[in-house]
Amino acid sequence: MATITKTGRATSALVLLLGAAVVLNYVDRGAIGIAAPVMKTELGLSPEAYGLAFSAFFWVYAPVQLFTGWLCDRFSVYKLMAAGILLWAGSTLLMGFVGGFVGLMLLRIMLGVGESISFPGSSKIIARHVPPERRGLANAAIAAGIAWGPAIGTLAGGLIVASFGWREMFFVFGLATLLWLVPWRRTVSKLATTGYLDDGAHVPVSALISKWSLWSMSIVHCLGNYCFYFLLAWLPLFLVQSRGFTITQMTMLATLGYAVQGACAIAYGHFSDWWTRSGRSEAACRRWMMVASQVLAACAIVGLSQAHSALSIAILLCLAGAASASLSLNLYAVAQMFSGPRAAGTWIGVQNSFGNASGIFGPIVTGILVQRAGYETAFLVTAAVAAFGAVWWAVGVPKIEPIKLD
């Protein structure tokens, strides 16, 4: 009993640290959006150049996950997580010294390499250590991190930029990320004394890429991320340039939306775990949560394109946050249901790689649309993508059940 309790505590600590790592992940990757209103002018970046610099992160982040996911299933995922965070923390710190477009591009690429471990590693650990009846809350920690990262980054970053400057923001964020390595090392050391069940024989990549369930999830991941990254990359600029808010006002509005997203993620996690413990279908719960959330996202984004007052924008951002919370939770929970612990790293590596392709082309497309047709057109295109995502969850994702790996 003492060993079980000790193992449970170590697992809970791991999940909390994984959530914290995702917070830092999104603080650091989204920092460029907070700095953009000031940094664009100082570095002389056009909308298209800014979109290109933002997307440079995903040029490596997306495809390299094919490799990092494979590594997670074959080597120590705990050491890989630490190495990735060390690299991305250093990249964030160095952005405070950047002097032009080329340097910014290179550091965004390095950031992408470091952060590529985050989701394959997290899903591997959750699939290995967390039982199905607790899967919702464990993934809710990740989903909350996806929301609270931008919330904390937007609030803290916006205040730092307004008070001290954009370079100082990158210094602070980079150093804060490095501190995560201290509790991680201690927690992993404690886990090593309790042991864990072996995942079983490695699953070859060829056994996964032939599964339609993997590709259907990759498609819906790409559709959902297009909408999320649109708001992450362009919302600060939209609120400042198109709606006339100050940086401080923009910071408060954006932070509210992300805070609601994080709170909803925790609530959805509790709800889905309760649903599963009651004997109902976990698969049906997650599928229809996603259909509803994608419809809600489409409506909120259309509304944002027409809203002008702070109150209406705040309400719509809260609705968009509630929708994004479901996306962040269920994309990974469903993938873990399909793959199981043996293949979770590779599966998420492939899914996240293709799912984040929208981070490559989305900001560039939006930059072109904003420069040539204005923000309203960019918002409407994004809403259409969200609506198609709802349809895909309803009919494109096959029956959600563990795939045959042998």
Report the distance separating Cα 67 and Cα 116, nearest Å.
Answer: 9
Q: Long-range contacts of range 76-80, CB-CB < 8 Å, 24 or more positions apart?
A: 77/121, 77/124, 77/125, 77/345, 78/125, 78/184, 78/188, 78/191, 80/117, 80/121
Tokens of 270: 């509790």
Report the distance separating Cα 68 and Cα 347, nearest Å.
Answer: 11
Q: Is residue 352 domain-resident? A: yes
User: For the chain, how are helix, strand and coil distributed in percent, rounded to 5?
Assistant: 85, 0, 15
Dump pLDDT digits (tens) for 86-136.
999 999 999 889 888 888 888 989 999 999 998 889 988 888 888 877 888
Q: What CATH code is carried by the domain that includes residue 375?
A: 1.20.1250.20
Q: Is residue 402 domain-resident? A: no
Supply the pLDDT for residue 10.
72
Q: Is residue 1 domain-resident? A: no
Q: Is residue 404 domain-resident? A: no
Q: Is residue 21 domain-resident? A: yes
Percentage above 90 pLDDT, the chain: 33
Q: In terms of residue numbers, what domain contains 113? A: 7-395
Please state the separation of Cα 91 from the chain's center in Å. 18
Dump pLDDT digits (tens) for 130-164.
887 788 888 888 888 888 887 788 788 888 988 88
Contact predicate 361/66, CB 8 Å: no
Supply the pLDDT for residue 221.
93
Dump pLDDT digits (tens) for 363-387.
788 888 888 888 889 999 999 999 9
Report the distance separating Cα 209 and Cα 38, nearest Å.
Answer: 44
Average confidence (pLDDT) over 183-189: 87
Q: Is residue 73 domain-resident? A: yes
Supply the pLDDT for residue 154.
77
Supply the pLDDT for residue 2.
39
Residue 1, pLDDT above cutoff 50: no
pTM of the model as a whole: 0.77
Supply the pLDDT for residue 4.
42
Dump pLDDT digits (tens) for 259-293.
898 899 999 998 999 998 888 888 999 999 999 99
The number of folded domains in the chain is 1
Average confidence (pLDDT) over 224-241: 84
